[in-house]
A and B are shown apart, each in its own frame.
Chain A
Amino acid sequence: MSLFRTILLVALVAGIATGVASAAVHLFTTVPLILKAETFEGGEAAPAAEVQADAHAHASTEAHSHAAGAADDHHHDPEAWSPADGFERNAFTVVASILTAFGFGLLLVAATELKGGLSGWREGVLWGLAGFAVFTLAPGLGLPPELPAMPAADLMARQLWWIGTALATAVGLALLVYGRSPLLAALGVLVILAPHFVGAPQPDSHDSPIPEALHHSFVVASVAVSFLFWVLLGGLSGWLRPRLGAPAA
């Protein structure tokens, strides 16, 4: 299992570095926008809940009970533990960023091993750009980054669309790059576009207490930092791979 150890080590080191760096940038760019958005949340929580209740009422009984269940165990649960604002909350943001980078790093490095393993930082950056397309651009087209208090469709439906879109984009890119025939490349394009023909789950109403300008700044900042995240994660993984593991088979 030495390859497993190599993937783990590369993803761990690249993940810690990328997670710390991206969390540092987030804490100065996107997180202040989240905190600002939360000032709109308190007074608007009740109307937002009513909108959700309306949406549930229109759905079938089964979908309704399911959605209500998801809402119950997900949010607006005053009993649930939550980090204190300030240092504790930001510390958890750093930890969660590292875990996110480690998890995506495992997926990235595992995928590259299918093609024999990364040979250097430049190859890693290219794979990082693919990760950016798969996990940020494609899901973000239908479900752009959102601020607290913004209206949104059923959580489970959005999570399924997000995962399906990321999967389809990854498969489509692989067909485009490794398909070796125009027919497979065309199929790759179709697979990438398919989730956007289906369309992401949308809320009944887009009326939001969040000012449009605030949301726009958040979308730009969040996608820009994600770009940094993926270039760094890919580049570091590519740089580390030949140094931490035996040459690939």
Chain B
Amino acid sequence: MNSLNARPHSAAAATETPASRALAITFAALLGVFVIGGVGFSHIAAAHNAAHDVRHVNAFPCH
């Protein structure tokens, strides 16, 4: 991915193109949504029970 978009500005610029930054930010945010979804929003009973008190104290909709 980086090698496709790499431009010979400098060593730092070559590894971080706008496209690779956007991709990194998107994947990090998606991972965040996935983790929060599992802890706070999953309807799986075991996940709900394990995180029960954390769901209540963070005011995630519960029960």
Which residues of A have CB within 8 Å of B4? none
B: residues with CB less than 8 A from A are 1-2, 12-13, 15-16, 18, 20-21, 23-29, 31-36, 38-41, 43-46, 48-63
A89 in the interface (beta carbon within 8 A) = yes
Bound form: Cα–Cα A110–B50 in Å? 27
Q: How far is A70 from B61 in the complex, measured between Cα atoms in Å?
A: 13
Q: Is A212 an interface residue (CB 8 A)?
A: no
A3 within 8 A of partner (CB):
yes
- Other than A4-B28, A148-B63, give 6 A-B pairs with Cβ distance below 8 A: A7-B24, A34-B57, A82-B50, A100-B40, A103-B36, A103-B39
B16 touches A249 (CB 8 A): yes
Residues of A within 8 A of B (CB): 1-4, 7-8, 11, 23, 26, 30-31, 34, 70, 73-75, 77, 80-83, 89, 92-93, 95-97, 99-100, 102-107, 109-111, 113-114, 136, 139-140, 143-148, 150, 152, 155, 158-159, 162-163, 222, 225-226, 246-247, 249
| CB–CB A92/B51 < 8 A | yes
Give 6 closest A-B pairs by Cβ, nearest first: A106-B32, A80-B45, A103-B35, A82-B49, A158-B61, A4-B24
